Structure 1
């Protein structure tokens, strides 16, 4: 898996950073990308290693897991990878997952709330309830980026 941590020139380095990784659009690829992102966040969250993870880390992990799993399940195109990107600023964490299938942009299913027995269909409702903001953008030439933002808690 290709990973890189980037800080742009001229960008403040205290509490700001970028993480990007490509992953196969499979369940295993999504799992591996999520764990790599969690390790990166643990080292860049601005707290001592001895301090336990907080609720914002748990929220970030859930959002990363849901968005990467959705890319593997709904955005898979044979032979094309997906991309996970994190941007961490002093005030916000932005999570972006880009996949190769752009024909249909995701929307939360209105029926998902009432279908308690179903095994899927509630992922975007989870994203909407956990994130401070989220959305989807077309990614040219063919694909989409689904993103979520969370305010960093003091």
Structure 2
């Protein structure tokens, strides 16, 4: 007996469209494969605007780069899992899960212009924040004593008019 249904609710999916999760070695060079395979998976959705595919591929690549640079995923034997799913009517979400880190990713809003000019990191999350309708993080295992076992970074994109993304309002949160 299954506790969770094995299918996506009909109102959240297109008939016959489901994606298997993909596992990647935690090596920065794999970012190109992450982009390529995301594009391949998204090609299963007929009529998806190229602008949306480009935005999702870029954001997934940035999230992957963060996972390999700032978590145990970038260490020897590390890995990153990428999932793609429908998250409500007209919403598509990718999720990248790393092997664990001490802190959850966040956009560094408190920098001066000079600090941004010399910053080596933090721009990828700003890019995700500007392109996605919503994004956030959550702990893979939500118990305090399991902190550091992995973090999921997700970003959602509307399937409807891509040009309307900016008017949807951002929602950045954990959970």
| TM-score w.r.t. length of structure 2 | 0.70
Residues 26-52 of structure 1: CA deviation (Å, up to 9, x unaligned): 11223212211111112x22229xxxx
Q: From the two aligned structures, give the one with the greater helix fraction.
A: 2
- Number of aligned residue pairs: 142
Q: From the two aligned structures, give the one with the greater strand fraction.
A: 1
The equivalent of 1:149 in structure 2 is 156
The equivalent of 1:55 in structure 2 is 51
* Structure 2 unaligned regions, length at least 5: 1-5, 162-175
Residues 83-106 of structure 1: CA deviation (Å, up to 9, x unaligned): 011114651110100001232111
Q: Which runs of structure 2 are paired with 1:70-81 in the superposition (5 Å)? A: 70-75=66-71, 76=73, 77-81=75-79
CA contact (8 A) 1:102 1:139 kept: no
Shift of 1:111: 4.4
Evaluate the alpha carbon distance shift between residue 10 and residue 29 of structure 1 in structure 2; reply closer, same or farther with a 3 A threshold. closer
Q: Which runs of structure 2 are paired with 1:99-110 in the superposition (5 Å)? A: 99-110=98-109
CA RMSD after TM alignment: 2.3
* Structure 1 unaligned regions, length at least 5: 1-7
